[in-house]
Each structure stands twice: as C-alpha cells, then as structure tokens.
Amino acid sequence: MSSPVHSSLFAEKTLKSATSCSPVSLYLAPWVVPVSSPVIRDGAVAVSDGRILAVGSSSSLQAQFAGAGIETCQGVLLPGLVNAHIHLELSAFTELPRPTPDETFCDWIRSLIDVRQENRMAPEETARAARQMLQQQHAAGVLLLLDIGNIQSSPLSVTTHAAHVVNLLELLGPDAKAEERVLARIASLPDSVAATPHAPYSTTRGIMTALKQRADRLQHIFSLHVAESADEVELLRSGQGCFRAFLEERGAWENAFPGRGIDSRGTVGYLEQLGLLDSNLLCVHCVQVSEEEVRMLAERGCKVCLCPGSNRFLNVGIVPLELMLRHGLLPAIGTDSIASNEELDLWREMRILREDHPGVNPARIMTMATLGGALAMGREQDFGTLAPGRKAIFLNACSPALQGARNMEQLFDRLTGGGCPDKIRWIGEG
C-alpha cells in the first residue's frame, strides 16, 4: 500500500527536475480547495510533467514560477472525486423498483437475482452500459472508482477511459458445496485478478478467510458489504429472520449462524473474530454498527465506505456518521449500483449525507468524497488532494452559486449541498 514517505520523496524529486528543465503551467482560480490544506482565495496550482508542483496563492506562485504558462479559470479548482463503491456491470439494471415499506432487504435481493436471470444480457450489452456509466461518472467529476463485479473476464478491465478504475472480482458461496467450488476457483485465479467476498451472509467463513489471505499476499484491497441491513445482523446474531428464510429457500441453510464459538453480536464483531480487521479491509455500508464496533474499526485502521443514496433507496437506515468521525474514521463515499440507487451521482450522495447529518461540517463531507476515497483505495499518493507530487489531473467546477460564494463556509455548503455544478471541466488531461 502507499507510503507517505515515498510520496514526499517523490514530490521533492518532481519539484527539482521540473524547476530545472520542464515547462511549468499555472492554473489560477478565485477558489482553490486542496482538501489536505486550507482553502485558498485567489489561489493557484503549479503543474509540470504530469504532477502537481505547488499549491498556493496566485501572487506567490506567479512570483515563484515566473515565465510559466498561465491559465485563468473561473470558479473552483479541486481534486477529482472518488467513487469507492460501484458495480459497473449492473449499469443496465435501471428498472428495479424501490422496495415498499413492508418489503425486506432480502426481497430486494430476490428481485435482483430474478431480474438478472430473466434478462441475461450479452456481454457486449453489459459492457456498453458499463462504459456509458463510466463516462457519466467521469463527466460528473469522478476520477477514481472501485468497481466490484462478478464477471471475471469483463471487457471493463481493458477500458481505455480517462477515469482510473480498480476492478475487484466478487465471489460468494453460502454453503459447504459452494465453498468447495469457490475455493477451487480461488486456487486457479491468476494473480492479476484481485478478488474479494460479497458479504458475511452470502459467503462462508472458509471463503472469506481464503480470500483475505490471498488479498494480503497480493497486497490489494479487501472490500466487502458489511452491516448493510438489520436483517443481516439478525442472521449473524440469532440465525433467524428473512436471511434464514432466503437461505432455506435456496437449500443453503446449514445452521452456520450464529457461528459456534463465535461472538456474533454484530457484523464487525463477527469479522473481528475471523481475524479480518486490519488496514487492508474496506467495509462498505456499515449502517447497522454499534459504537463498540465503530471503535474497533477505527483502532484497527479499517476503511469504511458509505453509500447513503443506496441505503435510502433500500430503506435500511442511516449510518452513524457522527460516531465514526468522533472515533477518527474518515469514511469514503460510494454510489453502489443503479440497481439499488435512483442515480449514480457522487454530488447527490454528498447532498444526502448533508440532509441525513446536518451537524457534520460540509468541509468534512468534501474530504470524504476525495481524500477519504483515495485513502480507502490506498491511492492517496496520486489522488484525493491538490498537493505536491499528486497527479496533475483535477477539476474546475463552476456555477453561479459557487461563483457567488462569499466565504469558505458558503463555498463548502454549495459544493456539498448544491448537487453537480453546472460546469465541470478536467484540467491536465489529453
């Protein structure tokens, strides 16, 4: 994973070589939001050789880099957004209805399975919808995505698109028969394929621990759906509820829950007992977690990704964000798939977080959508902030509301509460 020491050495090296011979470009704007340092009024970003050299006030950088090419921008310069949880291969499944109040999370899973079986799509059709979704994401300011999919030979992995996509192959198997098959598959996977489990309710302990050992060996992120619904916690705690009925329906109920000798008070506690909690673990959702579990996640350096739009769509509750921040977690944000969300728009996700958590500082929510995502994916040396050494690809966002912001508080309020800005332009591409 990334190392801050490496990042700073790299930044120095870049600065030296660039100042000696490479041309420097300066981008000036009324507002610069570096995320890792305070907002700069009338700020500038200096770039050279595809990396950021410096971020500062417009006057100081113009003096420091006299002779640099200058571009004056309107609005705000900020890092590209990070969507830390999406399922691109589900992009064609736009028709799934929002569950009614008397439907359970398991009912939604049944609908998804049925729709996927009824509408078996040609691989080209799946890939086309996924590429279109990726284009939409990028056009709306997303630079880095963590994509979870069940198709191993997905044409998505050879995308030539400008967004940076990390693909994880998602594996699952709820009973002994499936475990045998999945373990054999894991053993035959090439090292170039990063694989991860779906969720504790759908994946046996044997599969999860085998995938964790493999992820540690290959040094890639270990991401799974965690504590998304109260139904999941009920299954782990007592072996009852709609998930038990769902597993029974499919002939996959083996009395695995509550696990013998395992204290299954919650999903995070369950994962802890399996030895899965560490800084390589990315827990997606974490809606139904106790304070004890939040503390455990923070102490072990685990990463968390919130999907507020999906949680609202599926009516599974509201994440304890204030608690997470108080314990020192900086969650990432994801849209999840179009099968469980009205639209996949990270600006809307920020707005939903604002609505659900009016006490949380909007600047923190902006940090989650950028640096939080980069940290969750171990890519903070390249993405998530405007700082020396980072990739020189960033956003210029513009709208009358942003241009009318009179101070930093108004700026963050409008960035996180106003939806996607009217104009999004990428700087540093092509």
Residues at the contact surface with Zn ion, assessed by CB under 5 A:
336
Q: Which two tokens stand for residue 245?
A: 């009925």
- By beta-carbon proximity to Zn ion, the closer residue of 223 and 399 is 223
- At closest approach, how far in Å is the CB of 290 from Zn ion? 22
Torsion angles phi and psi, residue 67, rounded to 5: 95, -5
- Between the alpha carbon of residue 246 and those of residues 201, 241, 242, 430, the distances in Å are 10, 9, 6, 49
- At closest approach, how far in Å is the CB of 314 from Zn ion? 11
Pairing label, strands 222-226, 281-285: parallel
Pairing label, strands 195-197, 423-427: unpaired
- At closest approach, how far in Å is the CB of 284 from Zn ion? 6
- At closest approach, how far in Å is the CB of 113 from Zn ion? 14
Torsion angles phi and psi, residue 124, rounded to 5: -65, -35
- By beta-carbon proximity to Zn ion, the closer residue of 83 and 396 is 83
Q: Which residue's Cβ has the minimum distance to Zn ion?
A: 336
- Confirm if 278 and 300 have CB atoms less than 8 A apart: yes
- By beta-carbon proximity to Zn ion, the closer residue of 272 and 336 is 336
- At closest approach, how far in Å is the CB of 164 from Zn ion? 19
- By beta-carbon proximity to Zn ion, the closer residue of 195 and 405 is 195
Rounded to whole angstroms, the Cα distance separating 375 from 369 reads 11
Rounded to whole angstroms, the Cα distance separating 5 from 302 reads 21
CA proximity to 258, closest of 250, 246, 271, 270: 270
Instruction: Judge residue 118's burial from the number of C-beta atoms within 10 Å of its C-beta, 0-12 exposed, 13-18 middle, 19 or more buried.
Output: exposed
Pairing label, strands 164-171, 142-149: parallel
- By beta-carbon proximity to Zn ion, the closer residue of 147 and 272 is 147
- At closest approach, how far in Å is the CB of 307 from Zn ion? 7
- At closest approach, how far in Å is the CB of 37 from Zn ion? 33
- By beta-carbon proximity to Zn ion, the closer residue of 263 and 343 is 343
For residue 155, cis peptide bond before it (omega within 30 degrees of 0):
no
- At closest approach, how far in Å is the CB of 321 from Zn ion? 18
- Which residues make Cβ contacts (< 8 Å) with residue 342, sequence separation at least 6? 98, 309, 313
Q: Which two tokens stand for residue 190?
A: 């090439």
- By beta-carbon proximity to Zn ion, the closer residue of 232 and 336 is 336
- By beta-carbon proximity to Zn ion, the closer residue of 77 and 268 is 268
Pairing label, strands 69-72, 25-32: parallel
- By beta-carbon proximity to Zn ion, the closer residue of 140 and 148 is 148
- By beta-carbon proximity to Zn ion, the closer residue of 112 and 189 is 112
- At closest approach, how far in Å is the CB of 202 from Zn ion? 12
- At closest approach, how far in Å is the CB of 139 from Zn ion? 22
- Which residues make Cβ contacts (< 8 Å) with residue 136, sequence separation at least 6? 344
- At closest approach, how far in Å is the CB of 251 from Zn ion? 25
- By beta-carbon proximity to Zn ion, the closer residue of 147 and 336 is 336
